[in-house]
Structure 1
């Protein structure tokens, strides 16, 4: 359980520090090129979910929905960790990354009513949706969990 909570805390810390830095060093919508033609830091806010899903819904309903969903997800992650994590370090890492990402984005929603995004990858004029460290942790954690289940456990 020490690894589980350590990874969660580290994920939340890196996520919140990076968002704090962007919030205090960028103007909303400002973009700075890091790798020309591939990667920018672009300060955006997202009051929806991934790809701005539900962004147009009333603010109170949206906040209750997203925070409630995050809390339910954290309870499920805790139960999965108790069932699967004790048998596999990879499950522990995967679940902790998802939990840390969920907590990081939930902190933003509680503090601001939106999530701060700033990682902007693109090829030419095609841009992937801008995201943050918490989103990355969730994606990596889910990918590890699926990999463990579909590849390693077959």
Structure 2
């Protein structure tokens, strides 16, 4: 269990360090092209993923903070039960670290600091951060883990 909580803690630390570095290196809205598909950009997201509810007037900050804390508590409970199952424990740890990384931003600043921007031609993916990446990778791993396991009650081939 300790290694999974340690991984979640490492995600939080890397996320917060990277956000602070970008906050000090860039002004809001600055964009630094690094490759033909990747920019560093400093932006703030008061909403959820892809700026969902970003313009909702402020209540969403508290809603998403409480939601992240509740989800984090559920994830810790799930980790206690499934810490020996590497696939699901890894997925849960990544999601936990990402959720806590973003909740720290919401509590301290009222918004999440985003800085990774991917693009292709004129198509720009919404900016994100290390916490968002950990949540997405964890969710994909969770889906893959569930697809590898036979469903309960399914008959096995003879």
TM bracket (short chain): over 0.9
Q: Structure 2: which 5+ residue stretches go unaligned? A: 151-158
2:38 alignment counterpart:
39
Displacement of 1:57 in angstroms is: 1.3
How many residues were matched structurally? 150
Q: Which residue of 1 aligns with 2:57?
A: 58
Q: Which residue of 2 aligns with 1:24?
A: 24
The answer to whether residue 65 in structure 2 is matched with residue 73 in structure 1 is: no
Structure 2 partner of 1:107? 104
Alignment RMSD, CA only? 0.9
Tell me how far 1:78 sits from its aligned partner: 1.3
| Pairing partner for 2:82 from 60, 84, 87 | 84
**Where do 5+ consecutive residues of structure 1 fail to align?**
none
**CA shift for structure 1 position 56:** 1.3
Q: Stretches of 4+ moved more than 3 A in 1?
A: none
The alignment's TM-score, normalised by the length of structure 1, stands at 0.94
> TM-score with structure 2 length normalisation?
0.92
* CA distance, structure 1, for counterparts of residue 38 and residue 131 of structure 2: 18
| Larger relative helix fraction | 1
Rounded Cα–Cα distance in structure 2 between residues aligned with 1:3 and 1:89: 11
Give the structure 2 partner of residue 12 of structure 1: 12
Does residue 132 (structure 1) correspond to residue 129 (structure 2)? The answer is: yes
What displacement does 1:83 show?
2.3
Offset at 1:92? 1.3
Equivalent position of 2:154 in the other structure: none
Partners of 1:72 and 1:66 lie apart in 2 by 10
